[in-house]
Amino acid sequence: MTDPVRIGLLSAYRVLMQPLVRILVRHGVSYNEFNEVLKNVFVEVAERDFGIPGRKPSQSRIAIITGLTRKEVAKQKAILDGDVLPQDSSNLNRVTRVLLGWHTDSEYTGPYGLPLELSFDPSEGVGITSLVRKYSGDMAPRAMLDELLRVGAVEKVSAGAFKVLTRAYVPESLHPDALERLGEVIKNFVSTVEFNTEKSAPGAGRFERVVFADNGLRIELLPSFDRLLRTKGQQLLVELDNWLSAQESHESAENSEITTIKTGVGIYHFIEED
């Protein structure tokens, strides 16, 4: 790969990753966790898609393709094969330990086991600073408190005093169905873009079109455009869905052993709010 192509790809991926990383951070996923998943995907893709026809690539070849060490490739292969479970590399478990300590450590609980209200850094006795240092290693106490306040695990009750509200650290809830849809929508769209970047000739790619206001749309017209898109987009999708449903009914009646491929169309409305 030439340097301009590599630079261009990395620049494009930097833009692509911004909304994805925003979702991860919003829901409490750390860089270390994502990094482990990314290494796993690199190994999986290299093994599945970049082998010599007729045989899978060796671990040494996967290491060459991905830039990972052979030891790391072996580790990720074991995870992919189900031989070992992925390790918890999250920094966020330290947040959980702080909350657990606040609820269970006798230094930070009252006579009936109820968590005490703590000052941030009292001159004497226990406080949030000592709690964080005891249960979270090198995490900055102020940064830890800010995060606990942000997610509603702690509230300020008086000048300098804080009360813990929950034992669990849940940065933001997300329904499992939404998680599945998130992965599918992004995968399908990016797969189409990838296919079109490798197409052999004009017109040989998959349908992919974008319309947008060259000089931007007046913000007061955005609701009107949204209504137009919902009406026309829904009409198109209903028409396509009816056609697909008719083919499914026809094919299933004709032959129960036909070869099928998963396909569909997605329409989305983007707004660059930066």
> What percent of the chain clears pLDDT 90, i.e. is strictly above it?
20
* Strand partners of residue 161: 119, 158
Please write the tens of the pLDDT for every residue from 66-90.
999 999 999 888 888 876 555 554 5
List the domain boundaries for the chain: 3-89, 93-164, 216-274
Q: Give mean pLDDT, residues 11-17.
A: 86
Average pLDDT taken over every residue of the chain: 82
Place of tokens 């198109």: 236
CA distance 271 to 274: 9
Please write the tens of the pLDDT for every residue from 176-221.
666 667 778 888 888 888 788 877 677 678 888 889 998 899 999 9
Per-residue CA distances from 219 to 211, 222, 226, 273 (Å): 17, 5, 11, 11
CA distance 247 to 213: 36
Helix (H) or strand (E) holding 158: strand 154-158
pTM value is 0.55
